[in-house]
Structure 1
C-alpha cells in the first residue's frame, strides 16, 4: 500500500504532461518522444527510458476531434450568423482551420497520452522489481 503512494510521488503527472505536450521524454524532458510525426520511439535516446509498450492507440485522435469540434463548431456558427460569408469562403476558411489545428494538436496529444501512461505506471511502464 505504501509502495503505490510512493509511485505517484516518483512520477508527478503535470510535469510529465507538459513534457509530453512538448513531445519530449516524460522522464528526462530532453530526448525526443516521437520519431517523425506520430511514431513513438522505442526508447529515449538521452535517458534510455523504454516507450515501446505504450498504448496511445486512438486516444490522441479522439481527443483531437473532440477539441477541434468543440472549438470550431461554435466559431463556425458565430461567423456564419454575424458575417454571412459566401459558403465557399466559409468552407475554405474552416477547412483550413480544422486541418491546421488537427495537425498541430495530434502529435502533442499523443505525447500527452504517453506521458500520462508513463506517470501513472500504466501498460508496462511499471518499475522493474
Structure 2
C-alpha cells in the first residue's frame, strides 16, 4: 500500500520515526515544521500538502498526561521534603516544568500529524438518514368497494 504521486512510490513511514525526525509523513525526507511548532504549508521534498493535518489540542493533552504531572510532582516533592525558600522553586521547579512541558510538544505534534496521514483521518461527517418512502394509498380500506 504505497502512496504515489506522479509515478513516484513512497515507502510507508512509521509515525514515531517521523515524529522523532520531524520529517514528512509521506516521503520521510522533507521538513514537517517551519518553526518550533508551526507546520510547514507543504513538504519541501515531495510537495505533500499538510492542510489535512489538524492535531488541535492533542499535543498539549499528551504533554500534560506524560510530562507535566511528573514535573509538578517534582516541585511538590521538593516542597514537602526540604521546605526550600520560594526563590529556590523559581530556580529549580519552574525551569523543570517549563522544559518538561515545552520540549515534547514538537514530538507529539509530529506524531499526531503522521498518524493522521498514515490512517487517512478526516473530519467526521454526519450521516443523513435516507428519506422515508412516500405513503401508499390502501385500496382495501374498510367501507370502500
Normalising by the smaller structure, the TM-score range is: 0.7 to 0.9
Asked which structure has the greater RCO (Cα within 8 Å, sep 6+), the reply is 1
Q: Report the equivalent of 2:17.
A: 18
Q: Report the equivalent of 2:80.
A: 81
More helix by share: 1
Larger radius of gyration: 2
Q: Report the equivalent of 2:102.
A: 103
The Cα RMSD (Å) is 2.2
Q: Greater CA deviation, 75-84 or 18-27?
A: 75-84
- Count of matched residue positions in the alignment of Structure 1 and Structure 2: 115
- Secondary structure in 2 aligned to 1:20? helix
**Displacement over 4 Å in runs of 4+:** none
**Shift of the alpha carbon at 1:90?**
1.7
Contact 2:37 2:106 in 1 (8 A): yes
Contact 1:44 1:50 in 2 (8 A): yes
1:102/1:69 CA distance change after superposition, 3 Å: closer
Under a length normalisation based on structure 2, what TM-score does the superposition of the two structures give? 0.67
Distance (whole Å) between structure 2 residues aligned to residue 109 and residue 40 of structure 1? 13
Ranges in structure 1 where 5+ consecutive residues have no aligned partner: 1-5, 125-129
**Shift of the alpha carbon at 1:29?**
1.8
* Structure 2 counterparts to residues 25-40 of structure 1, below 5 A: 25-40=24-39
**Shift of the alpha carbon at 1:112?**
0.9
Ranges in structure 2 where 5+ consecutive residues have no aligned partner: 3-10, 124-145
Q: Report the equivalent of 1:54.
A: 53
